[in-house]
């Protein structure tokens, strides 16, 4: 899930020329935007380039895994990354984060914002906490151009709220191209890369799948889903975060949309040219999903879903099998807001405590989540590695356990 700031930055380079290539080829150094990140099992790093309409694959295999994966904690991570790039932190946008499946090194995609253009970079954080810039030109790499890439001219329409006129920050949305959402999330699964985003035409929401190593083959299917809180069928807004799980005995894409329905799509439905009707199984209310992680919680397969507007949710995967689906007419007519007794709808799992705001989160080994977390009081952006069973720092929380008398038995 990419932030609104990321999409705003997409307008910075929208006038740069597009590459003419249309098939998989050597990537060389023509990455123009570093957005969504995903690792293959062998350590190949996929990078989504929403400016060029391409996915890059960089081979960064390592010799061995660390003897033990350690938590990595760095305060003011944005300032330290900006220092490494030689820019002020105000000129830095962080787009995504992923962890190398073997080395446990943390990779962060960023944009350096200049006066006349923007430039991408990939930053690596080691297990010891050192920060360096990845020399992408030194890595073996390949590029897959996307079919049906949206045009570079169509922009979003600014809007206010209710009777309120748009503010300056609302009007800025009119400078963002729809193509900035061409690659929203990527999921590698059994030799294939699944990509969510928008394509072209009026039926924008698209799921792509392509083999890796890249070939000229790729499938692009359009996705329609019933949005409970909006009470309408939607075909434009893309999937923001997703995970592939076994549901009802079949490999299934579990996907989260803005405002915030959860849908299921069988993988065998994702074929070229298909018009998919996703199965809506829940809607936990307004907000924009950011990341969806798959991990073990008390021995059970569980999804951990973060949002820009609410606490994270945990969803037991076992509850997705046989889940009730919803379509228009199953619930009272009209839009639905969070305060209605009806919401949330479906077996939504549980909202859990999370101190601060996680902009990006990823698995760090089997026991930790690593998060880029905005501190609720100081506003600083920190890299925190917390136990997956309780992914929190406690420095902002004063509770009974913090009083010395508690431990003295008084």
State the Cα–Cα distance between residues 94 and 111, nearest whole angstrom: 7
Q: Per-domain residue ranges for the chain?
A: 4-407
pLDDT at 116: 65
What are the backbone dihedrals phi and psi of residue 362, each rounded to the nearest 5 degrees, phi first? -150, 160
3-state class (DSSP) for residue 25: strand
Q: Nearest to residue 371, comparing CAs of 95, 379, 380, 362?
A: 362
Q: What are the DSSP calls for 289-346, one per residue?
A: EEEEEEEEETTEEEEEEEESSS--EEEEGGGGTTPPPB-TTSS-SS---TTSTT-SBS
Q: Nearest to residue 188, comparing CAs of 244, 150, 116?
A: 244
pLDDT at 14: 38
To the nearest whole number, what is the mean pLDDT of the chain? 90
**In 161-249, beta strands by DSSP E:** 185-189, 192-198, 205-211, 219-227, 232-234, 241-247
State the Cα–Cα distance between residues 15 and 8, nearest whole angstrom: 14
Q: What angle do CA 346, 350, 354 make, to 5 degrees?
A: 140
Q: Look-up: residue for tokens 């995609």?
A: 109
Cα–Cα distances (Å) from 392 to 71, 368, 386, in that order, read 13, 11, 6
User: CB within 8 A of 11, min separation 6: which ones?
Assistant: 155, 175, 176, 177, 180
Q: Give pLDDT tens digits for 238-262.
A: 999 999 999 999 999 999 999 999 9
Taking 70 as the pLDDT cut, the residues of the chain under it are: 1-29, 63, 116, 410
CB atoms within 10 A of CB 54: 27
* Contacts for 160-165: CB closer than 8 Å, 24+ residues apart: none
Q: Nearest to residue 224, comparing CAs of 292, 280, 268, 287?
A: 280
Answer for the pair 130, 124: CB distance below 8 angstroms, yes or no.
Answer: no
Q: Tally the C-alpha atoms within 13 A of residue 50's C-alpha that lie toward its C-beta.
A: 34
State the Cα–Cα distance between residues 44 and 391, nearest whole angstrom: 27
Strand order in the sheet with 261-266: 241-247, 250-256, 261-266, 279-283
Q: 4-407 — its CATH code?
A: 2.120.10
């Amino acid at each position: 899930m990419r932030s609104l700031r990321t999409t705003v930055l997409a307008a910075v380079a929208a006038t740069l020329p597009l590459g003419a290539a249309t098939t998989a080829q050597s990537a060389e150094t023509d990455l123009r935007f570093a957005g969504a990140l995903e690792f293959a099992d062998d350590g190949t790093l996929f990078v989504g380039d929403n400016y060029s309409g391409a996915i890059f694959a960089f081979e960064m295999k390592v010799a061995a895994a660390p003897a033990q994966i350690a938590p990595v904690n760095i305060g003011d991570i944005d300032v330290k990354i900006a220092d490494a790039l030689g820019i002020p932190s105000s000129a830095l946008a962080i787009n995504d984060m992923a962890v190398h499946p073997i080395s446990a090194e943390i990779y962060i995609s960023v944009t350096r914002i200049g006066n006349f253009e923007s430039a991408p970079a990939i930053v690596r954080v080691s297990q010891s906490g050192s920060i360096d810039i990845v020399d992408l030109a030194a890595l073996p790499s390949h590029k897959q151009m996307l079919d049906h890439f949206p045009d570079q001219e169509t922009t979003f329409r600014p809007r206010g709220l209710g009777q309120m006129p748009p503010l300056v920050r609302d009007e800025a949305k009119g400078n963002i191209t729809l193509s900035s959402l061409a690659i929203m999330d990527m999921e590698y699964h059994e030799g294939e890369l699944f990509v969510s985003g928008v394509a072209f035409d009026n039926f924008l929401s698209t799921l792509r799948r392509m083999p890796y190593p890249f070939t000229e083959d790729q499938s692009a299917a359009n996705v329609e889903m019933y949005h409970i809180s909006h009470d309408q069928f939607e075909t434009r807004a893309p999937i923001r975060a997703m995970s592939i799980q076994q549901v009802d005995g079949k490999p299934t894409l579990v996907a989260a949309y803005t405002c915030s329905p959860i849908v299921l799509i069988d993988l065998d439905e994702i074929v070229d040219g298909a018009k998919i009707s996703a199965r809506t199984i829940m809607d936990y209310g307004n907000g924009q999903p950011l990341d969806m992680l798959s991990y073990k919680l008390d021995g059970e397969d569980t999804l951990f879903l973060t949002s820009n507007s609410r606490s994270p949710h945990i969803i037991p995967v076992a509850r997705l099998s046989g889940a009730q689906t919803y379509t228009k007419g199953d619930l009272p007519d009209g839009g639905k807001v969070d305060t209605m007794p009806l919401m949330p709808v479906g077996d939504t799992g549980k909202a859990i405590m999370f101190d601060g705001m996680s902009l990006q989160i990823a698995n760090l080994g089997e026991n930790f989540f690593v998060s880029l977390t905005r501190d609720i009081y100081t506003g600083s952006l920190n890299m925190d590695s917390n136990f997956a069973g309780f992914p929190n720092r406690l420095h902002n929380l004063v509770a009974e356990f913090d009083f010395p008398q508690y431990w003295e038995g008084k």
